[in-house]
Amino acid sequence: MSQKPVKVRHVTVDERGDGQRIDNFLLRELKGVPRTLIYRLLRKGEVRVNKGRVKAGRRLVAGDVVRIPPVRLPEASEVGKPPQWQIDKIEKSIIYEDNLLLIINKEPGLAVHGGSGISFGVIELLRASRPQEKALELAHRLDRDTSGCLMLAKKRSALRTLQQLQREGRVRKRYLALLAGRWNKDRQQVKVPLKKNNLKSGERVVRVDAAGKHAHTEFRVVQRFSRATLVEAELKTGRTHQIRVHAQYLGTPILGDEKYGDEQANREFRHLGLKRLFLHAASLRFPWPEREQGYAFEAPLPPELQELLDK
């Protein structure tokens, strides 16, 4: 198969890229290229903005000139198109949609971003379903194994508003989690810093670390069981794996968590039918300019988790 010649490109950021993170901008410009390669190019300084090196979190401004190094893009046949049944399934998961926002009830096991030509995540499936939505972007992320409310923006202006609201802590994100063990307290505030670590295998693990970033989770007991506690967790900050690591820090990890959990407790609850992480993004609530009542969304607990509680 002949490969198209590749060379350095200089792309001027337009309104569509205004306010977007450089890593997300590159994912769009280099469709089908693995995320790991994008981060490697940024680390090596091969991507430049206005001739200067940048980090993955750098937000672009309209008029910025981005140097994109030579990268061979996969042919369309390599990237592939999502199967229709997957597209139909993601469409059925939509809770709400208007001209600015799209909210889905994400199923567990579905990544928000897919890998190169192997699997398709939420964003690839929705873009394949509605190719006319040129500016469709994720407004935040959920772990692959977490189910529930996920926000997407359909316009750059809506994405900027959602990002600003999240930075200001004005988006209320409420999760339901089943923890191993019983709590005596009704509420717990956890304020311990978290730091990302990459293992030699390439796996990402988050640890409590004084050198990490500030992280704050508020836990409230919903129901006590003999060997477990159902809690509501509200994120005050949005760090990677935050609820999972804070629950582990308290000595009561989330059941079904293979990375931060308790192996023995997971085994016991597997016999009761728990085959996944018991973490569900139950609701989202946030104000909106020129919309007096703001927005509020809820995603019911998936049947398999409700059945476990009933048992």
DSSP one-letter string for 52-94:
EE--TTPBP-TT-EEEE---PPPPHHHH----HHHHHHHHHTE
pTM across the whole model = 0.78
- Segments making up each domain of the chain, as ranges: 9-73, 77-164, 169-310
pLDDT given for residue 115 in this prediction? 60
| pLDDT digit string, tens, across residues 33-73 | 888 888 889 999 999 999 999 998 899 998 999 999 988 76
137 has which bridge partners? 153
Q: Residue 98 catalytic?
A: no
Going by C-beta distance under 8 Å and a sequence separation of 6 or more, which residues neighbour residue 18? Answer: 60, 61, 62, 156, 160
Q: Decide if domain 9-73 falls under CATH 3.10.290.10.
A: yes
Where does the pLDDT of residue 76 fall: very low under 50, low under 70, confident under 90, or very high at 90 and above? very low
Q: Which of 143, 145, 257, 262 is catalytic?
A: 143
Domain 9-73 and domain 77-164 have a common topology: no
Where does the pLDDT of residue 201 fall: very low under 50, low under 70, confident under 90, or very high at 90 and above? low
CA gap 132, 148 in Å, rounded: 26
CA gap 20, 58 in Å, rounded: 8
Q: Are 279 and 146 in contact (CB under 8 A)?
A: yes
> What integer is the mean pLDDT of 161-189?
94
Q: Decide if domain 169-310 falls under CATH 3.40.50.1980.
A: no
> CATH: 3.10.20.30, 3.50.50.60, 3.80.30.20, 3.30.2350.10. Which one for 77-164?
3.30.2350.10
